[in-house]
Amino acid sequence: MKVLIADKIEEKGISILEEIAEVSVQTDITNQKLIRSIGEFDAVVVRSRTKITREVIESASRLKVIARAGVGVDNIDVEAATERGIMVVNAPESASVTVAELTLGIIISLARRISRANKSVKEGKWEKSKFMGVELFGKTMGIIGMGRIGEQVAARFRGFEMKILAYDPYISEDTASKLGVTLVELDTLLKEADIVTIHVPLNPQTRHFIARKELELMKETAYLVNCARGGIVDEHALYDALSQGKIAGAGMDVYENEPPTGNPLLDLDNVVATPHIGASTREAQQNAAIIVAEEIKKVFNGEAPSNLINLPVLDPQRQTAK
């Protein structure tokens, strides 16, 4: 068995794979080289840099599994993989705590204007009156998406004694109650929340999920935070809402185009921006590498992986040829 590591992962994950397979680490591999060489491998590990396109998949004559060392799989053509009988796995639990903690940090930075105050002091200024903030205590948090990350966010903000609203059509009232949140419709959440934070995957249904209409429902004093995926928020509509004072501020870890060169949102004082660092902790990266390595081991051993995100159509002749 041969495994291609196409993006940087922690050494522990590589070590696990080396126990069962020949591992090739090519973390600078180009798309064209990947297309030419993918036919040699039984598994490929990626993060967000490498794109596993339909063209790559159609060149993969023996590939059994594509492993994303992280959560989102929008850089993988899952439909093409499914058609070819290739499993796609990820590590959804690896970064839940890490992303929730970054979300908390961005929200506090927005509420207390920490980024701007820090910049001001470092410039030799002392502008105490300029950085009047708001408390989180007693405010209403709105969480869009109550998956693993949304659940972790809710747990942390309960400590601030906030009212927590949630929009998620896939969970029950009973589950919401156990998580300490109140299920509401999206419009209700947008109208009532002082802070709206997004934790859903990017797909055709969620692209521009928050656009002009949704932003107009929010309070003028509200903040919007996106640590999920770029493209879920319509950035043109968000810029207009922020620059016209229709909402108070926004926190962005992800963007429609990354890096966000020339993005006008970055010119606004009421935006806290970070460079897609949601999963960037030592703990999260090590967990992701270990989880996907163990998933590949299961596939090679003929076992069902725990984090399979598709149901591939297996071609018996092709499987035998492998």
At residue 313, the pLDDT reads 66
258 is known as an active-site residue:
yes
DSSP bridge partners of 167: 144
Using CA atoms, how far apart are residues 56 and 236, in angstroms rounded to an integer?
A: 33
Domain 2-94+282-321 and domain 96-273, same fold? Reply is yes
Q: What is the mean pLDDT of residues 85-91?
A: 96
245 burial class (0-12, 13-18, 19+ CB within 10 angstroms)?
exposed
229 is known as an active-site residue:
yes
Q: What is the pTM of this model?
A: 0.86
Neighbouring C-beta atoms of residue 17, cutoff 10 Å: 25
Exactly one of 18, 258, 283, 303 is catalytic; name it.
258
Residues of the chain with pLDDT > 70: what percent? 97
pLDDT at 63 over 70: yes
pLDDT band per the 50, 70, 90 thresholds, residue 71: confident
pLDDT at 309 over 80: yes
Describe the crossing of helices 11-18 and 282-300 by its angle, rounded to 10 degrees.
20
Give me the CATH topology for the region 2-94+282-321. Answer: Rossmann fold (3.40.50)
Q: What is the mean pLDDT of residues 205-211?
A: 97
Mean pLDDT, the chain, integer: 95
pLDDT at 319 over 80: no
Architecture of domain 96-273: 3-Layer(aba) Sandwich (3.40)
pLDDT at 312 over 90: no
pLDDT band per the 50, 70, 90 thresholds, residue 311: confident
Q: Which two tokens stand for residue 16?
A: 């696990």
Q: What is the mean pLDDT of residues 99-111?
A: 98
In tens, the pLDDT along 211-255 reads: 999 999 999 999 999 999 999 999 999 999 999 999 999 999 999
Q: Which two tokens stand for residue 41?
A: 């491998």
Q: What is the mean pLDDT of residues 184-191?
A: 98
Q: What is the mean pLDDT of residues 281-288?
A: 95
Exactly one of 192, 229, 235, 295 is catalytic; name it.
229
Sheet of 271-273, strand order = 182-183, 163-167, 140-144, 195-198, 223-226, 249-252, 271-273
Q: Give the domain ranges of the chain.
A: 2-94+282-321, 96-273
